[in-house]
Amino acid sequence: MSEEKPMKILHVYRSEPSDDVKTLVNILNRDREAKEFKLYLGKPNYDMLVQMIFDADQTVSWW
Amino acid sequence: MSADPNKLGIFVTSPQHMDHLIGIAHAAVRAGKKVMVFLTFKSVHLTKHKDFIKLANLCDVGDLAICADSYTCEGYDPEADIPKGLVPSQMRTQAYHGAVLEECGKYLVL
């Protein structure tokens, strides 16, 4: 029997995450393979972001 | 209808992220993906942004819409003031958001 792969989740931050957001992200990340993208930093690499969105099973956009 | 795994739905509620919206939509098209965009709530002000026409030109008529009710709430006339680059049929209701969720395999909120 093959082992089920963990869900891949991507967190996109539109601003610097608050402590509350970090707590929620940690909860959401349980048993999942998590990545993040910080839209608010410098000049974002949109090509990389699109690739990450299509690689992920689920994308969560934070304010 | 099943969601298209190569289609990115972008649900826009904020009026602050025009650069991100254009950048992500362009990047998706470069990657050979389709893009479907719905602007609602305060984001309808982006229709007055100088770069909105770039977004309109990127999307097929059926893949870009704005919420007519939000447009009205923000002080615009959805019949007499159609945003540049759009046609009247792109002034839609929240049902369009349902279509985005149904048709797009990937989904992002801005």
Query: What interhelical angle do B18-30 and A46-55 show, nearest 10?
Result: 70
Given this model, what pLDDT does residue B43 score?
97
Q: What is the Cα–Cα distance from B93 to B43, expressed in whole angstroms?
A: 14
- Ordered by start, the domain boundaries in chain A are 8-61
Nearest to B107 among A14, A51, A59 (CB): A59
ipTM of the complex in this document: 0.92
Q: pTM for the complete prediction? A: 0.93
Given this model, what pLDDT does residue B35 score?
97
Nearest to B31 among A44, A51, A59 (CB): A51
| Chain A residues touching chain B at CB-CB below 8 Å | 12, 14, 39, 44, 46-47, 49-51, 53-54, 56, 59, 61
Counted across chains A and B, CB pairs separated by less than 8 A come out at 41
Half-sphere exposure of residue A46: CA atoms within 13 angstroms, side-chain side: 15
Contacts of A8 in chain B (CB under 8 A): none
> What separation in angstroms does the CA of B43 have from each of A23, B24, B99?
28, 16, 19
Contact yes or no for B96/B38 (Cβ under 8 A): yes
From the CA of B66, how many Å to the nearest CA of chain A?
Answer: 20
Q: What is the Cα–Cα distance from B108 to B100, expressed in whole angstroms?
A: 10
CATH class as words, domain B4-109: alpha beta
- Ordered by start, the domain boundaries in chain B are 4-109
Per-residue b/e over B83-93, b at no fewer than 16 CB within 10 Å? bebbeeebbbe
Tell me if B31 and A14 make a contact (CB, 8 A cut-off). no
Q: What are phi and psi of B7, to 5 degrees?
A: -120, 130
Residues of chain B with pLDDT under 50: none
Nearest to B27 among A12, A39, A46 (CB): A46
Banded model confidence at residue A1, pLDDT cuts 50, 70, 90: low
By C-alpha distance, the chain B residue nearest A11 is B108
Given this model, what pLDDT does residue B12 score?
98
**For the residues A21-31, what does the mean pLDDT come to?**
96
Summarize pLDDT for B39-52 with one digit per residue, the tens: 999 999 999 999 99
